[in-house]
């Protein structure tokens, strides 16, 4: 009888851990895919709610900008009020906002609902990673949990593209919003029973930091989008960049002086963490922009339907999730640094290959194979990037550190797309102005659009190259630091 007791206890513990991980992963997937689930549905949304071509991009931006801009405040709120409590409030608001987004009867209605979704996600997302860190012991158990979390964070965007295409073609774009409602209700029921609550900390809310960071990033993104349409010297473009620079400068000064900042600048004292945030911003910037442009290429150049365009991303999604089982096996043998460099290098090769597309490209192999390389590279890179972004932080800073991981992810996507939209706008201006009066002009327009997409994806490859440079410098610096610590350890050992 006594011999069977430990086995029973282990089974119960394993089942409990699986439920905790399922709740956290389900929340993260729901939040991440909502940034991309609308991309393949944008043409139908525009026709249904009478968006102009310029305002349609804000269906995505309204979500990602409020999400990325308020993540730091959401992380700090979890530290002060308790992460499970803030998690549940965020999920509840996200669920209600999703219902109203699906019920939208006007463009303004949808944009407000999307912005509220982003606000809610900003408060729920930081708590997911922080709760994961306190729920799983350091070692194999935590490595596996972080691997799943990272795979969902990385692959959620491509899952959203597939799911958005399926729902748009088979039912309606509105179900991309409605699908969050039953998931949100289930999370609200399960969270109080299985997620641990963290100890509340005394503190203040840094509203100045939250407002200046959100408005500053919004101004920068707006500046890039406006530059694509009106040019870099246009007064509105210049004012947007100036406003963004001023607001972000105020944000940094405020964080330096604030008694309890939403972004403790001490988190950037670690070169490993700072490098991880920068590399993630660049990596996700390149990936997210590619999703946006490649979706247009598939539908407008190759003639895919929304459903077919969504399924075109399946090779990348499948191999990215497969890496969840491969990375824990490779990590002990290769180490985080080699795995990270190998992943970013593989993604760079895939992106460079993908940038060679033209109007004559076939889906296989010219698109499917580089997409698989992107999936492999992202699957290898996101796990060590996530671990590096939260490495060595004190428990009191866990929420802020996990918030910065998500900020780098969301802000990277927004900024990357905004920057490369200027490349796309310049390269496609000829196609946009080309009169489609006959078959010859339509063929020329397809050629110009394909060229613009290829140039934009070339920009994504540049983002990947910069991310590769950052992670190589991270690895070299880490090796130097280890080499410096070894003599100190030897001296201490001799003294003992």
Residue 242 resides in a domain: yes
| Spatial distance between the Cα atoms of 42 and 57, rounded to a whole number of angstroms | 8
Tell me which of 276-290, 349-363, 396-410 is least confident: 396-410
One domain, residues 245 and 367: no
Residue 200 resides in a domain: no
Q: What is the pLDDT of residue 425?
A: 77
Q: How confident is the model at residue 445 (pLDDT cuts 50, 70, 90)?
A: confident
| Spatial distance between the Cα atoms of 389 and 489, rounded to a whole number of angstroms | 26
C-alpha dihedral (310, 312, 318, 319), degrees to nearest 10: -140
Q: What is the mean pLDDT of residues 239-260?
A: 92
Residue 496 resides in a domain: no
Helix (H) or strand (E) holding 258: none
One domain, residues 57 and 188: yes
**Are the C-beta atoms of residues 165 and 342 closer than 8 Å to each other?**
no
Q: What is the pLDDT of residue 28?
A: 87
Buried b (16+ CB within 10 A) or exposed e, 107-131: beebbbbbbbbbbbbbbbbbbbbbb
Q: Counting beta carbons within 10 angstroms of the beta carbon of residue 177, is it exposed (0 to 12), middle (13 to 18) or buried (19 or more)?
A: buried
Highest mean pLDDT among 29-43, 71-85, 268-282, 396-410: 268-282
Task: List the CATH number of the domain containing 125.
Answer: 1.20.1250.20
Residue 344 resides in a domain: yes
Q: What is the pLDDT of residue 480?
A: 63
Q: What is the pLDDT of residue 492?
A: 53
Which comes out higher in pLDDT, residue 494 or 362? Answer: 362
| CA distances (Å), origin 266, targets 112, 116, 346, 401 | 35, 31, 32, 10
C-alpha dihedral (479, 484, 490, 493), degrees to nearest 10: -100
Percentage, residues of the chain above pLDDT 70: 87
Query: Which residues, in sequence order, are CB contacts of 417 under 8 Å at separation 6+?
Result: 285, 288, 289, 292
Final residue belonging to a domain, choices 226, 245, 261: 261
**Are the C-beta atoms of residues 398 and 486 closer than 8 Å to each other?**
no
Q: What is the pLDDT of residue 484?
A: 55
One domain, residues 110 and 227: no
The answer on pLDDT for 120 being more than 80 is yes
One domain, residues 73 and 220: no
**Are the C-beta atoms of residues 467 and 382 closer than 8 Å to each other?**
no
**Are the C-beta atoms of residues 170 and 108 closer than 8 Å to each other?**
no
| Spatial distance between the Cα atoms of 473 and 436, rounded to a whole number of angstroms | 49
Q: What is the pLDDT of residue 432?
A: 47
pLDDT tens, residue by residue, 371-392: 999 999 998 998 888 888 888 8
Q: What is the pLDDT of residue 435?
A: 44
Percentage, residues of the chain above pLDDT 90: 32
This prediction's pTM: 0.81
One domain, residues 225 and 370: no
Q: How confident is the model at residue 307 (pLDDT cuts 50, 70, 90)?
A: confident
Final residue belonging to a domain, choices 225, 244, 261: 261
**Are the C-beta atoms of residues 73 and 209 closer than 8 Å to each other?**
yes
Which comes out higher in pLDDT, residue 481 or 77? Answer: 77
How many domains is the chain built from? 2
The answer on pLDDT for 393 being more than 60 is yes
Residue 413 resides in a domain: yes
Q: State both tokens at 377.
A: 């590279």
Which comes out higher in pLDDT, residue 163 or 3? Answer: 163
Neighbour tally for 480: CB within 10 Å: 11
Q: How confident is the model at residue 94 (pLDDT cuts 50, 70, 90)?
A: very high
Final residue belonging to a domain, choices 261, 290, 305: 261
The answer on pLDDT for 12 being more than 50 is no
C-alpha dihedral (75, 80, 82, 86), degrees to nearest 10: -50
Highest mean pLDDT among 42-56, 267-281, 405-419: 267-281
One domain, residues 323 and 469: yes
Q: What is the pLDDT of residue 320?
A: 83
Q: What is the mean pLDDT of residues 347-369?
A: 95
Residue 292 resides in a domain: yes
| Spatial distance between the Cα atoms of 342 and 380, rounded to a whole number of angstroms | 7
Let me know how many helices (H) and strands (E) the chain has, helices first.
16, 0
Tell me which residue range forms the domain holding 218: 206-261
Q: What is the pLDDT of residue 110?
A: 94
Residue 201 resides in a domain: no
One domain, residues 83 and 110: yes
Q: How confident is the model at residue 35 (pLDDT cuts 50, 70, 90)?
A: confident
One domain, residues 312 and 337: yes
Residue 356 resides in a domain: yes
Q: What is the mean pLDDT of residues 332-340?
A: 90
Highest mean pLDDT among 260-264, 303-307, 397-401: 303-307
| Spatial distance between the Cα atoms of 451 and 359, rounded to a whole number of angstroms | 8
Query: Which residues, in sequence order, are CB contacts of 387 under 8 Å at separation 6+?
Result: 143, 146, 336
The answer on pLDDT for 324 being more than 80 is no
One domain, residues 22 and 150: yes
| Spatial distance between the Cα atoms of 45 and 78, rounded to a whole number of angstroms | 35
Q: What is the pLDDT of residue 226?
A: 80
Q: State both tokens at 471.
A: 């992670």
One domain, residues 249 and 102: no
Q: What is the mean pLDDT of residues 297-311?
A: 88
pLDDT tens, residue by residue, 23-34: 888 998 888 888
Tell me which of 328-337, 395-404, 487-496 is least confident: 487-496
One domain, residues 257 and 267: no
Average pLDDT, the chain: 83
| Crossing angle (nearest 10°) for helices 107-135 and 4-33 | 150
One domain, residues 215 and 76: no
Minimal CA–CA distance to 120: which of 63, 174, 81? 63
């Amino acid at each position: 009888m006594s011999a069977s007791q430990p086995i029973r206890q282990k089974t119960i513990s394993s089942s409990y851990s699986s439920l905790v991980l399922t709740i956290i992963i389900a929340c993260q997937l729901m939040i991440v895919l909502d940034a991309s689930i609308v991309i393949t549905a944008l043409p139908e949304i525009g026709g249904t709610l009478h968006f102009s071509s310029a305002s349609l991009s804000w269906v995505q931006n309204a979500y990602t900008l409020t999400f990325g801009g308020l993540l730091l405040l959401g992380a700090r709120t979890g530290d002060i009020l308790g992460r499970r409590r803030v998690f549940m409030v965020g999920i509840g608001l996200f669920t209600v906002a999703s219902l109203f987004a699906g019920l939208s009867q006007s463009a303004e209605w949808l944009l407000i609902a999307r912005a509220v979704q982003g606000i809610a996600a900003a408060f729920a997302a930081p708590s997911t990673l922080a709760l994961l860190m306190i729920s799983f012991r350091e070692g194999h158990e935590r490595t596996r949990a972080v691997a799943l979390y990272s795979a969902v964070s990385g692959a959620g965007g491509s899952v959203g593209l597939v799911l958005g295409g399926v729902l748009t073609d088979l039912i309606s774009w509105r179900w991309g919003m409605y699908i969050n409602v039953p998931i949100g209700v289930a999370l609200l029921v399960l969270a109080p029973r299985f997620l641990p609550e963290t100890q509340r900390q005394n503190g203040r809310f840094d509203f100045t930091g939250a407002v200046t960071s959100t408005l500053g990033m919004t101004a920068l993104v707006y500046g890039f989008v406006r530059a694509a349409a009106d040019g870099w010297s246009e007064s509105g473009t210049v004012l947007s960049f100036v406003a963004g620079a001023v607001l972000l400068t105020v944000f940094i000064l405020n964080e330096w002086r604030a008694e309890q900042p939403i972004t403790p600048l001490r988190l950037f004292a670690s070169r490993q963490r700072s490098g991880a945030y920068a590399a993630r911003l660049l990596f996700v910037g390149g990936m997210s922009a590619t999703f946006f442009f490649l979706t247009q290429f598939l539908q407008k150049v190759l003639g895919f339907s929304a459903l077919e365009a969504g399924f075109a991303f399946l090779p990348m999604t499948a191999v990215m999730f497969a890496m969840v089982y491969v990375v824990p096996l490779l990590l002990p043998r290769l180490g985080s640094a080699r795995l990270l460099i190998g992943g970013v290098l593989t993604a760079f090769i895939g992106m460079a290959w993908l940038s060679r597309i033209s109007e004559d490209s076939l889906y296989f192999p010219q698109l499917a194979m580089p997409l698989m390389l992107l999936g492999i590279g992202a699957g290898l890179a996101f796990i060590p990037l996530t671990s590096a972004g939260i490495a060595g932080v004190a428990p009191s800073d866990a929420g802020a550190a996990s918030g910065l991981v998500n900020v780098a992810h969301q802000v990277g996507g927004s900024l990357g797309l905004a920057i490369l939209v200027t490349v796309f706008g310049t390269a496609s201006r000829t196609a946009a102005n080309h009169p489609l009066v006959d078959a010859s002009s339509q063929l020329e327009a397809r050629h110009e659009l394909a060229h613009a997409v290829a140039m934009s994806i070339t920009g994504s490859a540049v983002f990947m190259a910069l991310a590769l440079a950052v992670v190589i410098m991270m690895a070299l610096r880490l090796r130097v630091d280890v080499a410096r610590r070894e003599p100190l350890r030897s001296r201490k050992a001799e003294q003992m």
